[in-house]
Amino acid sequence: MMHKQPVALLGGTFNPPHKGHIGPALEAIKDIGVSRLGLMPCKLPPHKSVNGVEENHRIEMVQAVCRQSASLYAELIELSLPSPSYTVQTLRELRRQQPDSTVYFLIGYDSLYNLPSWHAWQQLTEYCHLVVMRRADDDVSLSAELTAFVNARREYVPDNMADKPGGSIYFADTTLHPVSSTALREAMAGTTSNEIPALAKEWLEPQVIDYIYKHHLYQITE
């Protein structure tokens, strides 16, 4: 039986972190009965600064979002690990640090579809439960290999996962949020705080918008 607080994580570049990322994930953790969500910025190769935005800016934006909700916290474990960065290695290290915790790793249906391209993907459930954020328009069929992987681990009752460290795959029905970090970066490129795009106002926390303009992020479209 697990005794420590469960851990639920959402990974991403968070460049910038927006409600399209976080809203569905908060719905998913409510579904599985977990009270807090860790936003885990992924590590990028040193030569790959996303749209000119360095790691420290991504961290600061995530922390700005987390300060607005008691349900969110920043989980920076992956940034502390050596390159190359693989999700399975991050989860393995998290399991080493928290051997008695139930760990839930949240992914979108698009990530599930592409799971066979991940490093050592079939080992993921050795360290966590996978929670797939499924949307009403997700009708892409999975490969035979992936279907077999899912069917062998699929769980329909969230409570059944709570006393296990990992091993299951659960599908949570979440809301479709048709926005992307790319669209937000493009919308904000070349603008100032006096002309904040409507898209940014709708999908970004005010504190994140302030940070972006203060540090002149996304001002040049690549």
* CATH code where residue 82 lies: 3.40.50.620
pLDDT of residue 221: 43
What is the pTM (predicted TM-score) of this model?
0.92
User: How many domains does one find in the chain?
Assistant: 1
pLDDT of residue 222: 42
Edge-to-edge strand list for the sheet holding 169-173 = 72-74, 37-41, 7-12, 103-108, 129-134, 169-173
Q: Output the CA torsion sign for 155, 159, 162, 163.
A: negative
pLDDT of residue 105: 98
Count, residues in the chain: 222
Range of the domain at 16: 7-177
Residues of the chain with pLDDT under 70: 1-3, 45-52, 136-139, 220-222
Residues contacting 90, CB < 8 A, separation 6+: 11, 40, 77, 78, 81
Residue 212 located in a structural domain: no
pLDDT of residue 136: 61
Q: Output the CA torsion sign for 119, 125, 126, 129.
A: positive
pLDDT of residue 45: 63
C-alpha Rg value of the chain to the nearest Å:
18
pLDDT of residue 53: 85
pLDDT of residue 4: 73
